[in-house]
Amino acid sequence: MENKKAGVMACMRGVLRFMKPYRGKAILALLMVVVSQLTFALNPSVEGLITSQLSDDAVDIINGVSGAHVHFDIILKIMLVLLGLYLLKTVSQLITAFCLTDAIQGTMHDLRNALQQKIQRLPVRYFDDHPFGDVLSRVTNDVDALSNALQQTLTRVVGAVLTFVFVITMMLSINAVMTLVALIIIPASLLITRFVVKRSQRLFDEQQTTLGELNGTITEMYGGFSEIVLYGKQEDAEQDFREVNERMCAASFKAQFVSSLISPLVSLCTYLTIGAVAVLGCFFVIDGTIRVGSLQAFIRYIWQINDPLSQISQLSAQVQAAFAAMGRIFGMLEEEEEVPEKDPAADISAVKGNVCFEHVQFGYDDTLLMKDVNIEVKQGQMVALVGPTGAGKTTLMNLLLRFYDVKGGSIKIDGVDIRDMKREDLRSLFSLVLQDTWLFSGSIYDNIRYGRLNARKDEVIDAAKMANVHHFIRTLSHGYDTMLNEEANNISQGEKQLLTIARAILKDPQILILDEATSSVDTRLEQMLQEAMQRVMRNRTSFVIAHRLSTIRNADLILVIQHGDIVEQGTHESLLAKKGVYEQLYNSQFADKQKRAA
């Protein structure tokens, strides 16, 4: 799926919106930039006064004027004024750095929080369509690129504009003709910059995009590192990484190289301008139109104009990368969120667990996967969903949890459409145990207690006992205080699964969903787990997705799903008697067991 990017003006408005709480410090920083650039513009003229005074004194001494000497007292006064300007410039720069750093880092802090909050509000569909590494790159790399650009370029860009205004004013006060000649550098530099930037911005967009692809590739590879090694696909993984890395390298080289052309071209314009002004200025000095110190100051002013132009050209790569990053950041912030809740939402305090699918239609795109699904589940029933991979079993549960909304029909719990409930309230009714376990870095106790944070320790232990994982925990040196690492790979996959089941049991939900929850548990533990699950599912509505049909023989209702539709439903015995799809699935598994036993 193509990554969404926001426009330049939308990005600028977005940054200003996030910077609004810190506008006081930002304004103070900009005022100090004005002071700094004003003193910067005055310095050459004051320095020129020293040169002019020394020149006049030298001429008087050479011409034998009576009492002629070097007026050190005047020069000292000028130097004191110059020292004051230098100190004022330094202090203003320090204040600017402090205030601007605080404002920008506060803005980035709020922006990262906004991205994290946005992630919580995005529909599941967004994460199905966007690689994890790309999302991570937006929250980390893109925000860092924007932060660095604001920190290093904002004051320079504002300073450059002020420098032009102040310096041109000072140049006009010296000589208008020389100023007109010198100003040729500005349109020439702007034309060069515009020409180069127009061609390099597209390259910087490509650079940020390939950076997201690179992060996605790295995340995917390290997430499946064991499988890569197991199947001996290291060379293939290296080749995949090498290809995206080469694209990243090529995009970065082109972007950086093209943008770097600005600086030497602008400098060439500056040198040519200085040469022309120096020749012209000498004639004005000879005929007494300007003093020699003024010519010195004028040439300094040309360099002062060149300095911000050179800085901007050097920072153009960073600025363009920042615009590309902003487009990705605010593109994500502008993504469509989950459908807003209805207000007031339905009350769920008395929910018992009756679930009804009425003429449900759904598809991930314009093609409908489910055309007319009808299911009625009574409170306390155990419902098993069986069928081939990709038939739509997990999709049904995703619809029940409102990870996706139906495109037609309705799903009701105790007669209330789930779209009339708050998502938070709806999902509080469920416990979900997936085939892919998720545990976080922390103690085993905290991982189980995640199901109900206000649970007492004895309740956590009881849940662990029901999931048949208490004995295993007791064998660990630190028991429930044993710390799991980031990937929780310091315990086995089956033990991780049991912990997630204990977490689900602790929540004590009205409705329980088990999506291949026993797939990672060995046969002995599976039998123990089945007994525990029978206890926890008693008087509680439960949905079980299973490929091992032997585990759902006691289900109150079995739904056989193919291509998104329910082709058969009933009990184990009644479905076998029909001699249809379920019987074929069951017999094929039984035959496989017979062959393995033989």
- Say if residues 262 and 316 touch (Cβ distance below 8 Å): yes
Q: Which residues contact 136 (CB under 8 A, 6 or more apart)?
A: 215, 219
Decide: pTM greater than 0.85.
no
Dist CA 544 CA 381 (whole Å)? 11
- Beta-strand pair 483-484/442-443: antiparallel
What amino acid occupies position 354?
Answer: N
User: Which tokens hold the place of 344?
Assistant: 């007031």
Query: Closest by alpha carbon to 325, among 110, 120, 108?
Result: 108
- Say if residues 85 and 110 touch (Cβ distance below 8 Å): no
Dist CA 21 CA 475 (whole Å)? 53
Spell out the per-residue pLDDT of the chain, length 598, in tens: 445 566 677 788 888 899 889 989 989 998 998 998 888 888 888 887 887 778 777 777 877 777 777 788 888 888 899 899 999 999 998 999 899 889 999 999 999 999 988 988 888 788 877 777 788 888 888 888 888 888 877 777 788 788 888 888 888 888 888 888 877 777 777 787 777 777 777 787 788 788 878 887 887 777 667 677 767 778 888 888 888 888 888 888 888 888 777 778 777 887 788 788 888 888 887 877 888 778 888 888 887 777 776 666 666 667 777 888 888 888 888 888 877 776 666 777 778 889 999 999 998 877 888 888 899 999 888 899 988 877 888 888 889 988 888 999 999 999 889 988 888 888 888 888 877 778 888 899 999 998 888 899 999 999 888 888 898 899 988 899 999 876 667 787 778 888 888 888 888 888 988 877 665 556 666 666 666 667 677 778 989 887 777 678 888 899 999 888 889 999 888 998 888 888 888 887 665 554 444 4
Q: Which helix (H) or strand (E) holds 256?
A: helix 234-260
DSSP of 180-243: HHHTTHHHHHHHHHHHHHHHHHHHHHHHHHHHHHHHHHHHHHHHTHHHHHHTT-HHHHHHHHHH
